[in-house]
Structure 1
Amino acid sequence: MFDPAYQPGTSEQRAGDLRALLNPRSVLAILRDFYSRRMAWAALLISALLLAYGGGAVMFWYHAIYLGEGGPAISHWLHWLLDSSAGFVGLIPAIAVILPLAGWVAARVQDDQLRKTLYVVTGGVAFALVTAPGPFLHDALVGRGTWVASQVTSWWGDGRAPLPPAEQVGVVAEVARQVALGVPLYIVTMAVALVAVRAVVQLWRAA
């Protein structure tokens, strides 16, 4: 997947039945096989950074600015950095599982372009679903009124009054709009991450 020179054989093309994803032992075997290669760890780091900080930047703009949800009396840059860093730490275990499973699903096809497309779509959709409850977790853990938000404001507050919260919507509507933005956003981010990882692998092999 990450090596542009790699071509899967016929046996790898039909790498098991999709029902294997429902078997915990099969999933563990997929994860062990994936992380037995050094390039997989580079893929995890690059993908996690882009999903958390790149995707996080778009989500920050959407929630804090476009929807007017605002935040504590700190700069937008610091707010984005703190939110994205929390997302990076909290979501890297999920990303560590999503990447191998998306790669395993994509390995079932031999055409390189289709394989890449299947990988980024599977990974992007899975990540969007995992992060669907993100706004609620954010509010509960680091949102306005929490200990973390109070400490951050006292340390790095810039004197601005925090913006008033946006009008509350129902849980279903909140999750729906999170997923609606997350699916295309994270598919694109996964594609960018794949390009970046392949470039790193090419440089690695050329060195």
Structure 2
Amino acid sequence: MKLYIYEHCPFCVRARMIFGLKNVPVELQVLLSDDFQSPERMIGEKMAPILQKDDGSYLPESLDIVDYVDNNYAGNPILIGDRSANIAELIKQLQQYDYKLVCPRYIKLGLAEFATQSAIDYFVTSKKEKMGSFDQCMAQTDALVAEVLTVLNKLELLIISPEACNGQLSLDDICLFPVLRNLTCVKSLVFSSKIKAYIQSMAKRSKVDLFFSKAI
């Protein structure tokens, strides 16, 4: 199987996680940010992730990919834990910081989807309407980090184990870890030991890299 992704995309991380957690082999193929032709050829629109299955057919949508792999490969499903409405709400709160706090940093991390200037230019232009200039967003870092820490303080009280936020692997882990993982690119954001242990544990188990060493 082949998984088409953007390295920065939290939805792509969701799909990557299930392969790592179940030790199912998959080939990762990073699309350029401004590559419309490839995804449109596969599924008729520009989006990622896209899974090319063993039979050659294509499956989009991150949680559909997660469900497909969990239920059809490497034994019984592993995402069987209960979900938490409180964690789901905090995930929503953290997701809003993907734009102003994290997006301006993505293009500085040396990621494959931004290997060309045209790919960078497309990404910056496509985000500008929603968030303003990247320079203005970077100037708001301190205030945004303070807001994120308020949410993380609430999250810390809910995480039961570094192996699974609710004590047993569930879709909450699939949705929570990608958001936290992308926040590791913010150098001034200091995670509590409990949340950092969760991030590092999930990264190792799911075989998804973190951005601590590249943080800006």
TM surpasses 0.5: no
User: Greater share of helix residues, 1 or 2?
Assistant: 1
Q: Which of the pair has the greater relative contact order for Cα pairs under 8 Å at 6+ separation?
A: 1
For the pair shown, the structure with the greater C-alpha radius of gyration is 1
User: Greater share of strand residues, 1 or 2?
Assistant: 2
